[in-house]
Amino acid sequence: MKISIITIAYNSEETIEDTIISVINQTYKNIEYIIIDGGSTDHTLAIIEKYKDKIHTVISAPDKGIYDAMNKGVAIASGDLIGILNSDDFYANNDVIDNVAKNIGDNDSIYADLVYVDRENTDKTIRYWKSGAYKENSFLKGWMPPHPTFFLRKKLYDKFGSYNLALKSAADYELMLRMIHKEKISIAYFPEVITKMRVGGQSNASLENRLKANKEDRMAWEINNLSPKFYSLYLKPLRKVSQFIRKNEQ
């Protein structure tokens, strides 16, 4: 099975090398690595150039944001399975993709656990996102899988569409809501940390951004003609509290 990994980058000189190394060092051999850069003006492209013989496709051009860049990557990906790894993130070990391939079985998708780490000291865990096994209607209880651990078969993108550009910070949530909750694709859970994400996500940077994100979460349901429970979108951010409590459980 060919697995496509798509990295989205823009002025990511401080972190992208960790991302690239974590992909090219994977033990799984049949990986197509794609980097979509938004027209970086720092040293991001020079760093990418160092590893050009290990990267299948690099596109650098202005885009309409991260989800537009993801859509560009999905459109050109030729793998059977697609994963998204942004330039702030990196895989937890060299066997991640091998474990994904071994554990997806006949399912349409697979997800796992994620840890948020300190931007400077990536050995320091800030939050531990233990996803847990999916149960039908889990989205109604504020659940979602961590997007950087989510792998989806290419044929499902072709069938149900990619990232909705009407959303600026919740298009990943909308895509997973649409695929898992609405279209009821089959999904596997691999109960291990496979991705490390540096802290500092835009949607959580301030109360104002969190309120904007909550508004977009609601839009994600409306776009799909779905109705959450009155508590669904309040439980979603509240679930993050346990991630701080659980950070030492790895």
Domain boundaries defined on the chain: 3-248
Which residue type, as a one-letter code, is found at position 142? G
Determine the pLDDT at residue 131: 96
The separation between the first and the last C-alpha atoms of the chain, rounded to the nearest angstrom, is 30
The model's pLDDT over 36-57, given as tens digits with 9 standing for 90+, comes to: 999 999 999 999 999 999 999 9
Span 8-23, mean pLDDT? 98
Span 215-229, mean pLDDT? 97
Q: Are strands 31-37 and 3-9 parallel, antiparallel or unpaired?
A: parallel
Q: How many CB atoms lie within 10 A of CB 217?
A: 23
Determine the pLDDT at residue 213: 80
Span 76-92, mean pLDDT? 98
Determine the pLDDT at residue 247: 66
Angstrom distance (rounded) from CA 164 to CA 146: 18
Mean pLDDT taken over the chain: 94
Span 219-223, mean pLDDT? 98
Angstrom distance (rounded) from CA 60 to CA 244: 36
| Cβ atoms 90, 18 nearer than 8 A | yes
Q: CATH 3.90.550.10: does it fit domain 3-248? A: yes
Q: How many CB atoms lie within 10 A of CB 165?
A: 13
Cα 35 to chain centroid distance, Å, stands at 14
**Percent over 70 (pLDDT), the chain:** 94
Judged against a pLDDT cut of 60, whether residue 121 lies above it is answered with yes
Look up tokens 């909705």; give the residue: 164
Span 193-212, mean pLDDT? 72
Q: What angle is formed at CA 238 by the lines to CA 90 and CA 129, rounded to 5 degrees?
A: 25
Ordered DSSP codes for 165-210: TT-SS-HHHHHHIIIIIIS---EEEEEEEEEEEES--GGGSSHHHH
Element (H, E) at 35: strand 31-37
Judged against a pLDDT cut of 60, whether residue 116 lies above it is answered with yes
Q: How many CB atoms lie within 10 A of CB 89?
A: 24
Determine the pLDDT at residue 47: 98
Determine the pLDDT at residue 204: 47
Judged against a pLDDT cut of 80, whether residue 26 lies above it is answered with yes
Determine the pLDDT at residue 208: 64
Determine the pLDDT at residue 203: 44
Please state which of the ranges 30-44, 51-65, 207-221 shows the lowest mean pLDDT.
207-221
Judged against a pLDDT cut of 80, whether residue 153 lies above it is answered with yes
Least Cα distance to 216 among 184, 177, 168 occurs for 168
| Cβ atoms 150, 83 nearer than 8 A | yes
Determine the pLDDT at residue 222: 98
Which pTM does this prediction carry? 0.94
The model's pLDDT over 165-202, given as tens digits with 9 standing for 90+, comes to: 999 999 999 999 999 999 999 999 999 999 999 997 54
| Cβ atoms 113, 149 nearer than 8 A | yes
